[in-house]
Structure 1
Amino acid sequence: MRRVLILRPEPGAGRTAQAVARLGLEAVTHPLFAPQALDWTPPVAADFDALLMTSAHAARLTGPALAAYRALPAYAVGEATAAALRAQGFDRVVAGDGDASAIAARIAADGHRAVLHLAGTTVAPIAAGSLNITRIAVYSMASLPPDPALLRAAVPGSVLLVHSPRAGERLAAHVPTAVRAGLHVVAISAAALAACGAGWASATAPDQPRDDDMLALVLRLCEGSGR
């Protein structure tokens, strides 16, 4: 059975592990980061006509102040983020199925201009177009200490799932070049893939930054090698 190592933080790591198990593969979670809430000063809701969330962590870690924006139409980069917003009492949530630039284009197409973006300290570039986006960091990703268990778990033939460029950088720093030839990398985006460096048995990324598309690449890899 092919082993799949999931490096993203919880609770996303658990969701991905369940999806991997449903494919009949062995899932091992090994988060490289943990989200931490930040102190932030909520701006006046009336100054904005839409709310943008590009991470489910932001929805969970903003605290009680998030309730002040429930009257705004909310836009989420994907369904997981949309679900996190609904869990916080938002009943008007538009979920995208691409990247942050795609949902920004949807916001503009719906006629909004002043957008509040609650996010992490590290955000992928967004093509804002006609939007005036005010971004406030409400959480950060704290690096967890290097753990030798990752190298022990990464037996030859394993697939490593990389969900961010920062995770790719950490992975590249942690896995020696001599070990990489026996391991496969599936990253969520071209930027995350580039951050992983070279020397892997294979390294791919889907056209769209979606977990399901990453798992489709994993399954294709496994089927091509007879698992």
Structure 2
Amino acid sequence: MRPGLAVVRPEPGLSRTVARLRSDGADVIALPLFVAAPVAWSVPDATAYDALLVTSANAVRLAGSGLATLARLPVIAVGAESAAVARAAGLSVVVTGSGGVVEALSAAGDVGLERPLHLAGREHIDSGHPTVIVYASADVAADAATFADAVSGRIVLLHSVRAAERVAALLDEQREATGIVALSAKVLAAAGTGWAGAAAAAVPTDAALCALAIERAIDPAAGAGDKRP
């Protein structure tokens, strides 16, 4: 029997990831360990930038009234969801990347956008550009024994370093019954060792992570013993 999957990221990404996995026929459970919430932030001078870099739809959803001050800046969106939420908020999306931050910034450079302001969550992939934190994920209470029982025999999708650290802490000495797939090599490293299987997505996107999870669920032996690509 192929192992099931478990998603621990916060909403609204949680539902999107679960839907993507189920559309491929996966047995998946949702076990959110975090909830996203806005944080206070100071709006910088918009004239210092030529674009907004949005790597998470939550950065738009939770930015609050300060976003209006930056609304004249075109948006470099990483992922279709980020682009859709930005447009719904009245922003002008000029680049929609599908291969991660580096690919989106490269496409932005092709159209002359080289000084973006990155609106991000506290846990984010470094873009190399000025960054303002507009939201953060708070822990959702979880009982270690209950969580271990729920994910035993499954593969857990890890979307952030914080998720990797929390899952590792909850399972502690019970990792051998659970596999993991991570958004990046950095996220994978944060989870430590001892897993039934472990691998990182080649591209840091939800689509790539889901594809890897499906692949590992079909052929769990490919990731046995903490083998990493």
TM-score after normalising by structure 1: 0.87
- SS of residue paired to 1:137: strand
Identity %: 37
Instruction: Report matched runs for 1:1-227 at 5 Å.
Output: 2-126=3-127, 128=128, 133-148=129-144, 149-155=146-152, 157-177=153-173, 179-224=174-219
- SS of residue paired to 2:81: helix
- SS of residue paired to 1:181: helix
Contact between 1:82 and 1:93, CA under 8 Å: does it hold in 2?
no
**Structure 1 runs, 4 residues or longer, greater than 6 Å off:** none
Q: CA RMSD in A?
A: 2.0
- SS of residue paired to 2:98: coil
The Cα shift of 1:29 comes to 1.0
For the structure 1 residues 217 and 114, does the alpha-carbon distance in structure 2 shift closer, same or farther, using more than 3 Å as the test?
closer
- How far, CA to CA, are the matches of 2:80 and 2:220 in structure 1? 32
TM-score after normalising by structure 2: 0.87
- SS of residue paired to 1:176: helix
Cα deviations by residue, 1:97-130 (Å, 9 ceiling, x for unpaired)? 222233233333322343222112233222x4xx
- How far, CA to CA, are the matches of 1:140 and 1:93 in structure 2? 26
Structure 1 residue identity aligned to 2:211: A
Contact between 2:52 and 2:76, CA under 8 Å: does it hold in 1?
yes
- SS of residue paired to 1:204: strand
- SS of residue paired to 1:175: helix
Structure 2: state its 5+ residue gaps: 222-229
Structure 1 residue identity aligned to 2:41: W
Contact between 2:156 and 2:181, CA under 8 Å: does it hold in 1?
yes
- SS of residue paired to 1:139: strand
- How far, CA to CA, are the matches of 1:137 and 1:4 in structure 2? 30
Structure 2 residue identity aligned to 1:87: A
- SS of residue paired to 2:177: coil
The Cα shift of 1:225 comes to 5.5
